[in-house]
Amino acid sequence: MTESSTAVTVAAPNEPVLLPDLSDRGILTLTLNRPRVFNALSEDLLDALTSALESAAKDGTVRVVVIRAAGRAFCAGHDLREMRARPDRAWYTELFDRCSAMMKTIVALPQPVIAQVHGIATAAGCQLVAACDLAVAGETAVFATNGINNGLFCSTPSVALSRAVARKHAFEMLFTGAFISAARAAEIGLVNRVVPDERLDGAVRELAASIAAKSTVTTRSGKKMFYRQLGLDLVDAYDVAARNMACDMMSEDAAEGLDAFLEKRPPVWKDR
C-alpha cells in the first residue's frame, strides 16, 4: 500500500500502466509503469498484469518473464486512494480476489518469473516479490508488509510471504510492519540475491538468459512439478517427482541433453 496519502494517483494521460517487451532470447519484461504513485496496484494495473501473464502462458516464444518497475520504486502495494474512493465491501472483495488471481497466475505460469526489485516493495508489492519464482534486489531496496501500521493487516500478502520465508520471519514482518533491508531479505529467503543498484539490470538479464538457454520443455515441466510437490507430504511428493522424471525422460530434449553430455558437446534443444 502506498506510503504517502498526498501522492498523485493518476498516471500521465495516454500512458500505459504496463510496458511489455519481448527480447529475441525469449525474455519477456513487464515494466510496471505508474511511477508517480510508486507503481501502486490499481485495478487497471492488476488487469494489465494478469492479461500479459495469461498471454505469455500461451506464447511458445516466451521462455522467462521479468517483472520490474519504472521510477523510484518497485511497488508500494494497493492504491489507497482508489480503495478509499470505493468504500464498498463487495468491491473490496472483488479487488482482493482480482489481486489474488494475478498472484496465482504467476505461480501457475509455465515460465519462470523473476522480480527485479529496486526502491520499496511494500504490502502487495512485497507480496508480488514473494509470489515470483525468483527475485533479485538492488542493495538499497527495502521491503515491508506494513499494512498493520495503518490498521489493515496484510492478509493476502501473508499468503505469498509465508510460503516464501520461514514462519517466524513472516510473522515478524506482518505483525511489526517494519521495513527490512535487501540484505535481510536475502538472509530470510525473500530474494535470491542482492547486487549493487547499478548492476541490477545486468544481474537480472544474466539470470534470465541462463534460464532462457535451457530446454523450454524441461523448465515448464519442472516448474509445474515443483509447485505441485510443495503441497504434498514426503511420500506423495516423491511419487509425483518420480513419475514426472520418468515422463521427462521420454522427451526429445532429455534424449538430446543426455546424448550431448555423453558426447561432450553442447545440446541443441528442439524448441530452438
Determine what percent of the chain is predicted with pLDDT higher than 70.
Answer: 94
pTM over 0.85: yes
Distances from the Cα of 133 to the Cα of 63, 73, 110, 160, 219, angstroms: 14, 20, 11, 11, 12
Distances from the Cα of 32 to the Cα of 18, 29, 39, 68, 114, angstroms: 5, 10, 6, 6, 14
Other C-beta atoms within 10 Å of 90: how many? Answer: 8
pLDDT digits (tens, 9 = 90+) for 73-112: 999 999 989 989 998 999 999 999 999 999 999 999 999 9
Q: Which helix (H) or strand (E) holds 259?
A: helix 252-262
Q: Do residues 183 and 194 make contact, with C-beta atoms less than 8 angstroms apart?
A: yes
Rounded Cα gap, residues 151 and 10, in angstroms:
25
Q: Phi, psi at residue 65, to the nearest 5°?
A: -120, 135
